[in-house]
Structure 1
Amino acid sequence: MIDPPVTMPPKRVARLPVRPRAVRYPVLAVVFVCAACGLVYELELVALASYLIGDSVTQASVVLSVMVFAMGVGSLLAKRLRCRAAVGFGLVEGGLALIGGCSALVLYAAFAWLGEARYVLVAFSLAIGVLIGAEIPLLMSLIQRAESARTYGAGESGERESGERETGERESGERKSETDGKDDPAGTVADLFAADYVGALVGGLAFPFLLLPWLGQLTGALVTGAVNAVAGGALVLWLFRHDLTARSRALLIGANLTVLAVLGTATVLVDDFEGAARRAVYGDSVRVAVHTDLQEVVVTGERGGPPDLFVDGRLRVGGQDEHRYHESLVHPAMNGPRERVLIIGGGDGLALREVLRYAGVRSVTVVELDPGVVRLARTNPELAALNGHAYRDPRVRVAFADAFRWLRGAGADAGAGADADGLYDVVVSDLPDPGISASTKLYSEEFYGLAARVLADGGRLVVHAGSASARPHTYWTVDATLRAAGFSTRAYSASGGEAARAAGPDRAERARRSGGTDTAPGDWGYVLAARGPYPPALGLAPDAPRLRSLSAEGLTSGARAAERTRDALGAEPPPSTLVHPRYGG
């Protein structure tokens, strides 16, 4: 006896607003958008942490390593949500939009009012990484549900046609429908990761070229969060709405509207917030605050008094005693031939002011990366008065370029047979502290080798090398690097006031937190160098102008003070190169 065929209970067919075969395309589009947003959050954290905390290499390493670890944790946690993948994905995207969009705002607030942003950075990296890691497993579950619907729907179609065809045709159609509808997990994973990686590429390019210059760090993060929320919410509430209960649907709608309301309100108030945070960092005496294409530049100080200049939160010019720094930097190098002078950095015009005090100077070239700094030094009344309107002098030429690339071009011209007019008698390196990662390549052996190629016979190079007493390892690494590049050196230092006491990668933060009473040794360290076996004479030119703080006796005592820090250091540090930077310790 042949038993009748067993009739299986009908499967629950997923109802979708598009054909099951086409469901991958909106899902992949959302993967693309979410991946772009996720990378923007990551880059926002790295950029803002480097600006607030310093040492971009360390901050990038912290953010990337913590976030990648957290993504693995998020992937494991997502397994608990796979049975409710639609509502889970909707909540994950809403949370990611809120946390990622507000991350820059909260990080800046922690720095401004609490004085510490490192722990907040780690917390946001962890939270964002967990949510990003949960995305792919949940989306995989949603696609598999759609594929299952496609398979069952195709089988139903084959059964409806079976009564109209002969047995052989029916069996063939059933086999084909099974093949067409068969899941392809490997292909699905490949599609998801392809969309994810391409989205990350777009987000990575959009951040520096679109979001930062157009919107800035805070507004850019908030707008990215809004895009993230709309993309994630739209996918679930439209494509997988039949997977949601009425309660889940109301929850997702309410959560997404709340997230968008928070991000929208923050976007409207971001200028007021930024102003309040800036006052918390710099005090109530902010005169000018501008975002150039490369950095934030803030001028502070009481009306009628000398200004202070901050670049990316770091004190670059202390108006009360900047003359101590710039006189000590420039005038020892001007003891000798000085017709043609090159200033690397120094866009504020203060080193330029000191150079132009010598009548024998015929031309000065200033190589500055950021045109915004030079523009401010020219047009801001306080800064222009402080630098003596140096940029009005017809002897001055400004080149807006990366100093390393510019020197490579200038050195190549000199090596190709340029006459003596293509070389410089004095090169002044007025750059940020070498402990700041962005400056490291400009304190490398390769950089000094390029500088040597543009020096005329008997020319001198002077380098600001950080505090000799507070960071002797960094200071003497600069000296060792210059000697490795073929220079003979003379080390010296100069005592300073508030600006020197606050020197360093996080100088603005430490000065603010100490209330201006930072007890770190107040000195600037310099290295004077010349090509060849004989170090240059450390002194002042016979026709040097009258100086406010520097004297020959002061230079002699400064040289002795610098040498004492060498004795305390012990072993001589190795030189720093591009492939093996030695600073930041």
Structure 2
Amino acid sequence: MNAPVAAPDDRRLKEVWLLLATFLVAVAGLIYELIAGTVSSYLLGDSIRQFSFVIGVFLSAMGLGAWVSRFVGEAAHGFIWAQIALGVIGGFLAPLLFFTYAATGEVGLALYGALIAIGVLSGMEIPLIARVLESIGATSFRFENVLSADYVGALAASLAFPLFVIPNLGLMSASLAFGTLNLAVAALSLVIFRDLASRAQWIGCGVALLASVVALIQSERLVSVADAALFEDDVIISETTPYQQISVTRFRDRVRLYLDHSIQFDSLDEYRYHESLIHPAMARAERVNNVLILGGGDGMATREVLRHDGVESVTLVDLDPRMTELFRDTDELAALNGGALRDPRVHVVNADAWRFAEDTDAVFDVVVLDLPDPKNIALSKLYSREFYSLLMERVSTTGVLVTQAGSPVYAREAFWSVVRTWEEVRNPAAPDTDLTILPYHAYVPSFGEWGFVMVEPLARRDRPLDLPDGLKFLTPEVWQGAQVFAADTDRVEVEPNTLQTHRLVDYYLGGWDHWFR
């Protein structure tokens, strides 16, 4: 049976509580959706695709939940059970996904199973709350008030997630904290509707709340256990920033950096990558006074740039301030880049690379693109014809630009799409002349065969590669071999990458999936 009509004072309390509960459960529901999208993009890549799938599945499940709610006989009773279930499933969503991935290497079934359950339960909430308000004889009840509270809660969650939740809690603690919030809503509802509460609900809510609070208190330990399962080595740093998941591992003297669980360098062989990226371009440029590095927040590329005489200024642009802070202020990490980010010639700018290129009027002798792989549209735009055209306005007439371009083995089409894209870029220094474009590659054990593209506004005669002392990998002989591609990595016909097509994402994902999935 429905809740009996309450006395005026009691009814007013219940009205206020139900509208507040609508706001709170809306906040929790959207946080779960954002956590699911973020974790799936961390573990599965292609954030645009993953968020699109998560949103679609979640909203469809909410629609199913709204329909299912008609079969709930006692609305208040059903609402309380829904909150208990959401507190458990939503609260343990992030731990479930991380531990499942660590144990099996797969996360799809757990992700979408949990997401559907959360969506169904969330979809039941508003219809049930509306029925409870009607059943208690709420004199000022209007359905649009319930919807307004729900939408305001969604707005609050969407603003809080990047600005407060992730920077201060991280994914694991956030999931458990908002699960505890759902359980707190269930507990207060049990108190306010105690005449309808069952013993099973009291016990279920109490046990779930105790388990969630204990897990929340131990969340840092849960993160450590999950990281230990995900990575081969000891995890010395694990932080979730508004931009990415930063993980640093160590085994004896060997240090590795992972961003969103993808390896960025291994201290055992990173010199092969960074020497190949930096020194050919620095040797080709007529001057190296002013250097721009986009990405490379670990400072390794900056370290190699500073080996060259004549460098007066290095501008390092990296989106995530936490990255540059860690590799500047943490002695163990700063030692890996030789204290490069502490050098007075280095100016760190924490900004979006595109926005920086648009806003600056500076012209640079060497421009280095040490950017993450183009595994989603947000990164693909930094490998687009439009961005490359903008960057060429920032390269001096006698300057050189170089970009990392992925693996010509694992993502052969993606690598040559980067080359093809550069071939469509207008040469601002000589509009009637094509840019001089040189693709090359090097073997880096942690990554496999890796490719680079060097671009110059003006063609110049080949000259001996003038390298600084102390390099471990690159020699003039290695450089000559780096420009030769084997038959299975040589050029293929591909399309350029533009903001309209983003063909590079398909090439990149298709190549890596072919090899590793």
Q: Is TM more than 0.5 here?
A: yes
CA 1:538 to 1:316, structure 2 compared with 1: closer, same or farther past 3 Å?
A: farther
**Larger C-alpha radius of gyration, 1 or 2?**
1
Aligned match of 2:404: 464
Aligned match of 1:527: 453
Q: Note the alpha carbon deviations across 1:435-477, whole angstroms, 9 max, x for none.
A: 2454222222222122112111121110111111111222122
8 Å contact from structure 1 (residues 341, 424) kept in 2: yes
Q: Give the Cα separation in 2 of the matches to 1:37 and 1:403.
A: 33
Please point out which of 192, 201, 205 is paired with 2:146: 192
Q: Which moved more, 1:100-109 or 1:553-562?
A: 553-562
Please point out which of 483, 489, 492 is paired with 2:440: 492
Q: Note the alpha carbon deviations across 1:256-295, whole angstroms, 9 max, x for none.
A: 1122111101112212221122112223433333445543
Please point out which of 254, 262, 278 is paired with 2:227: 278
8 Å contact from structure 1 (residues 31, 196) kept in 2: yes
Q: Secondary structure of the equivalent of 2:504?
A: coil
Q: Secondary structure of the equivalent of 1:283?
A: coil
Aligned match of 1:62: 53
How far is 1:564 from its partner? 5.4
Aligned match of 2:108: 118
Aligned match of 2:167: 213
8 Å contact from structure 1 (residues 74, 130) kept in 2: yes
1:76 maps onto 2:30 in alignment: no
1:555 maps onto 2:482 in alignment: no
1:95 maps onto 2:89 in alignment: no
Aligned match of 1:374: 324
Q: Secondary structure of the equivalent of 1:288?
A: strand
Q: Output the amino acid matched with 2:154.
A: A
Q: Give the Cα separation in 2 of the matches to 1:275 and 1:20.
A: 47
Aligned match of 1:572: 494
Higher helix residue share? 1
Aligned match of 1:300: 249
Q: Secondary structure of the equivalent of 2:9?
A: coil
Same amino acid, percent of matched pairs: 36
Q: Which moved more, 1:387-396 or 1:293-302?
A: 293-302
Aligned match of 1:3: none
Aligned match of 2:275: 327
1:453 maps onto 2:393 in alignment: yes
Q: Secondary structure of the equivalent of 1:401?
A: coil
Runs of 4+ residues over 6 Å off in structure 1: 536-539
Q: Secondary structure of the equivalent of 1:42?
A: helix
Q: Give the Cα separation in 2 of the matches to 1:475 and 1:208.
A: 33
> What is the count of residue pairs matched by the alignment?
495
Q: Give the Cα separation in 2 of the matches to 1:119 and 1:374.
A: 36
Please point out which of 22, 28, 38 is paired with 2:29: 38
8 Å contact from structure 1 (residues 491, 563) kept in 2: no
Q: Secondary structure of the equivalent of 2:406?
A: coil
Aligned match of 1:261: 210
Q: Give the Cα separation in 2 of the matches to 1:140 and 1:379.
A: 54
Q: Give the Cα separation in 2 of the matches to 1:27 and 1:356.
A: 62
Equivalences for residues 407-426 of structure 1 within 5 A:
407-410=357-360, 413=361, 422-426=362-366
Q: Output the amino acid matched with 1:377.
A: F
CA 1:433 to 1:548, structure 2 compared with 1: closer, same or farther past 3 Å?
A: same
Q: Give the Cα separation in 1 of the matches to 2:3 and 2:364.
A: 82
Q: Give the Cα separation in 1 of the matches to 2:342 and 2:12.
A: 69
1:428 maps onto 2:350 in alignment: no
Please point out which of 275, 283, 302 is paired with 1:352: 302
Q: Give the Cα separation in 1 of the matches to 2:210 and 2:462.
A: 64
Equivalences for residues 130-145 of structure 1 within 5 A:
130-145=120-135
Q: Output the amino acid matched with 1:322.
A: E
How far is 1:300 from its partner? 2.1
8 Å contact from structure 1 (residues 339, 363) kept in 2: yes
Q: Give the Cα separation in 2 of the matches to 1:209 and 1:431.
A: 24
Aligned match of 1:362: 312
Listed as ranges, the gaps of 5+ residues in structure 1 are: 1-10, 151-180, 182-186, 414-421, 501-521
8 Å contact from structure 2 (residues 69, 124) kept in 1: yes
Q: Which moved more, 1:539-548 or 1:391-400?
A: 539-548
CA 1:214 to 1:540, structure 2 compared with 1: closer, same or farther past 3 Å?
A: farther
Aligned match of 1:202: 156
How far is 1:433 from its partner? 0.8
8 Å contact from structure 1 (residues 290, 296) kept in 2: yes
Aligned match of 2:340: 390
Q: Output the amino acid matched with 1:582.
A: R
How far is 1:495 from its partner? 1.3
Q: Give the Cα separation in 1 of the matches to 2:402 and 2:7.
A: 71
Q: Give the Cα separation in 2 of the matches to 1:543 and 1:523.
A: 22
Q: Which moved more, 1:471-480 or 1:197-206?
A: 471-480
Please point out which of 502, 505, 514 is paired with 1:584: 505
1:475 maps onto 2:424 in alignment: no
Q: Output the amino acid matched with 2:369.
A: S
Q: Note the alpha carbon deviations across 1:530-572, whole angstroms, 9 max, x for none.
A: 236x5x67776335445322233433333321785354x3x32
How far is 1:90 from its partner? 0.7
Q: Give the Cα separation in 2 of the matches to 1:580 and 1:143.
A: 50
How far is 1:12 from its partner? 10
Q: Give the Cα separation in 1 of the matches to 2:198 and 2:476.
A: 79
Q: Give the Cα separation in 2 of the matches to 1:441 and 1:264.
A: 42
Q: Which moved more, 1:294-303 or 1:455-464?
A: 294-303
CA 1:328 to 1:32, structure 2 compared with 1: closer, same or farther past 3 Å?
A: same
Q: Secondary structure of the equivalent of 2:451?
A: strand
Q: Give the Cα separation in 1 of the matches to 2:162 and 2:467.
A: 49
Equivalences for residues 7-46 of structure 1 within 5 A:
14-16=5-7, 18=9, 20=11, 24-46=15-37
How far is 1:573 from its partner? 1.2
CA 1:358 to 1:232, structure 2 compared with 1: closer, same or farther past 3 Å?
A: same
How far is 1:370 from its partner? 2.0
1:231 maps onto 2:185 in alignment: yes
Q: Give the Cα separation in 2 of the matches to 1:43 and 1:268.
A: 22
CA 1:445 to 1:196, structure 2 compared with 1: closer, same or farther past 3 Å?
A: same
Q: Give the Cα separation in 2 of the matches to 1:21 and 1:384.
A: 60
How far is 1:251 from its partner? 2.0
Q: Give the Cα separation in 1 of the matches to 2:58 and 2:136.
A: 30
Q: Output the amino acid matched with 1:212.
A: I
Q: Secondary structure of the equivalent of 1:347?
A: coil
CA 1:292 to 1:133, structure 2 compared with 1: closer, same or farther past 3 Å?
A: closer
Q: Give the Cα separation in 2 of the matches to 1:12 and 1:53.
A: 46
